[in-house]
Structure 1
Amino acid sequence: MAYRGKKPMKAHDKFLACALAYACISLAPSMAHATESGASLYVPGFKSAVAGITPPPGFYFEADGYSYSGRLSAGKTTQLGGAVLANVKVQARAGFLTATWVTPAEILGGNLGFAATLPLGDPRVSAGALVVAPRFGRVLGGKMRDSEFLVGDPVLTSFIGWRKGNFNWQIGASASIPSGSYRDDALSNLSFNRLIGDLYVAATWLDPKIGLEVSGSAGYEMNGRNYATQYTSGNAVHADLAVSQYLTKDLSIGFLAAHYQQVTRDSGAGNHLGSYRGRVTAIGGTIAYTLNVAGVPVSTRLKVLREVKVENRPRGAIALLTIALPLGAPAAPGGAPAATPAALHDD
């Protein structure tokens, strides 16, 4: 895959155009397993592949399908909706709809962008025993299962992204805003019912000559109080790593690793479990492919991760399927046209 003469820069732009199609995949926040109700803005592996790449100025749409199945280990308890439960099983099937705007405005040479995400889906929770249940048992009527199609709290994100040669980096902040959709004393909720902020940095090194991409991100999550349960979740740090190899301009496969760890304790009058600091480590893989539909690059990516080390949380498997596309096909940096299937090969 060597290039001669003036072709390296042109091939770089073509190859990067394909990667940029994937970049909006990493802009939307999602859910994970930590803190009260086992939910957080962070999900293992979400900000991993191409996390540091910011798309060219324009509008983008993304749909993420999220699936999680897990259970709490025997002898462990967790807290949901003010109740302490044991033998908990969780199944979540959710979708996240994200609109992203990368503006032409520049801050310190980087492009400014905004994104808004709306979650919706059906989280299913079952428990083998109620350990502590103030107000809770009366509402459930003794039921130990709960499932409902719900709309969650909207998430707003702002970010700035830069590029220099093969290196791309980005800083950003996300906030989950309570929407009032929280169901008091229910096992199943898609709403956090608390303010959550997340500050993150991400970087991607992408060499189009060999088709290798290395991406990483790190962030700090800040949790507010759920006033319905009087529970304040602890703050946490998180990190992701992805190494991918492009087999062609359109197809890549890669390895994922992720870690989430609370660094401050849970608290509040409604906290019945004490410090209860959560920790999750997950590993997995990803495969991505870009389709060309009427001249528009439509990027698809599948991520599958297994939680291999967990403390105070359910342990299970995560699957994420993402479809993302520009609303109007933007040019690649430098005005290069959309990439062709032969972009990775000699002419």
Structure 2
Amino acid sequence: MNKNVLCTSLLACTASLMLGTTASATEGGLSSWPMGIEIYGMGILPPPGTYGQVFVGNYLADSLRDDAGRKAADIDLRATTIVPRFVWVTEQQVLGGNLGFHALLPLNDIRLNVKNGPHDHKRGIGDAHLGPVIGFHHSEKLHSAVGIDFVLPTGSYDRDDLVNLGNNTYTVQAVYALTYTDPAGFNADVRLMHDYNFENRDTHYQSGRELHADYTLGWGLGNGWVVGVGGHAYQQISDDKCSASNCASAALVDANDGNRGRSFSIGPAVQYTGEGWFLSAKWQDESGVRNRAEGQTYWLKFTMPL
């Protein structure tokens, strides 16, 4: 959210440099990926066929943190998203794995109030994600997937608004996911992502490169249930830039050493496997936040064949 899809990103809520005086990692403190959205099974590409997924998330934040982790502003941010995702796994083999494709388009409702300051509310579609993926099944329990995602600026954007439904920039995201699953034992998942953000042409602002991961750890109870913990880890690895001489954010970029963001979250996670379908849930609380909003996220994920 800011994090998008919550102040997320699939969500893309521009909690923007709050009144122009507060530091934010990446433009508006946002990322193209909703941190921690994935739960169990994130490295498993299913057998050839078509599949539908629905993610439902709610992000709540009450503070914006600066580059030292201090509270920079009191806010009331509430971002709710419904994210339908379509997955098509082909019979085509590439490097020994199955070739697949996916696409998603978030539907967002974002409210932001700054204490003793402005407020805004937006509702509508966010930025679309799509791309190819190759899935490998190394054994009955160990699976992995590699892919590349393209984020398209399909959400509405106005540089003068406090909240936006899209980031108004293209992003290319490299992905590697790994899953170890045991219905009656240890389970572990990680999805590693590296984001390259292109320039926002309306503001001439280019957010830095981002390295982040969704993760879960759990224990299978042998009856379809897996219980454990999950969350995300995020670190911006290059500075934000502003190419225009009159860019309003240029001074902030210089003053805050590139506005590099950081965050970590953890919380309980659970999954139930039915006859050909999966339902997962997770709650995660953020800590160690730099240059971003700090809050809590609830996620639900439902998967079934079409």
Deviation digits for residues 193-218 of structure 1, max 9, x if unmatched? Answer: 1001110111112234x432112221
Partner of 2:26: 35
Q: Does 1:88 align with 2:75?
A: yes
Cα distance in structure 1, aligned partners of 2:215 and 2:73: 33
- 8 Å contact from structure 2 (residues 54, 303) kept in 1: yes
Partner of 2:55: 64
Runs (5+) with no aligned partner, structure 2: 1-8, 14-24
The partner residue of 1:159 within 120, 124, 133 is 133
How many aligned residue pairs are there? 274
Cα distance in structure 2, aligned partners of 1:186 and 1:76: 24
Partner of 2:36: 45
Q: CA deviation at 1:74?
A: 7.3
The partner residue of 1:107 within 70, 91, 94 is 94
The partner residue of 1:206 within 168, 171, 181 is 181
When residues 73 and 147 of structure 1 are mapped into structure 2, their CA distance, relative to the original with a 3 A threshold, is closer
Q: CA deviation at 1:318?
A: 0.8
Q: Does 1:116 align with 2:90?
A: no
Structure with higher strand content: 2
Q: CA deviation at 1:30?
A: 4.0
Partner of 1:179: 154
Partner of 2:238: 264
Structure with higher helix content: 1
- 8 Å contact from structure 2 (residues 66, 291) kept in 1: no
Cα distance in structure 2, aligned partners of 1:95 and 1:37: 22
Partner of 1:197: 172
Runs (5+) with no aligned partner, structure 1: 1-28, 78-84, 131-143, 328-347
Partner of 1:276: 259
SS at match of 1:225: coil
Cα distance in structure 2, aligned partners of 1:46 and 1:32: 14
TM-score by length of 1: 0.73
- 8 Å contact from structure 2 (residues 155, 168) kept in 1: yes
When residues 31 and 249 of structure 1 are mapped into structure 2, their CA distance, relative to the original with a 3 A threshold, is farther
Q: CA deviation at 1:88?
A: 3.5
Cα distance in structure 2, aligned partners of 1:283 and 1:50: 17
When residues 105 and 124 of structure 1 are mapped into structure 2, their CA distance, relative to the original with a 3 A threshold, is same
Cα distance in structure 2, aligned partners of 1:162 and 1:32: 32
Which letter maps to 2:286?
Answer: E
Cα distance in structure 2, aligned partners of 1:40 and 1:170: 22
- 8 Å contact from structure 1 (residues 74, 87) kept in 2: no
TM-score by length of 2: 0.82
Cα distance in structure 2, aligned partners of 1:238 and 1:177: 19
The partner residue of 2:291 within 299, 312, 317 is 312
Q: CA deviation at 1:76?
A: 8.0
When residues 289 and 207 of structure 1 are mapped into structure 2, their CA distance, relative to the original with a 3 A threshold, is closer
SS at match of 2:269: strand
Cα distance in structure 1, aligned partners of 2:155 and 2:188: 40
The partner residue of 1:234 within 188, 208, 215 is 208
| Greater alpha carbon shift after TM alignment, 266-275 vs 281-290 | 266-275
Which letter maps to 1:155?
Answer: H
- 8 Å contact from structure 2 (residues 12, 126) kept in 1: no
Which letter maps to 1:174?
Answer: D
Partner of 1:8: none
- 8 Å contact from structure 1 (residues 48, 217) kept in 2: no
- 8 Å contact from structure 1 (residues 124, 147) kept in 2: yes
Partner of 1:81: none
Structure 2 counterparts to residues 12-23 of structure 1, below 5 A: none
Partner of 2:268: 285
Identity of aligned residues (%): 32
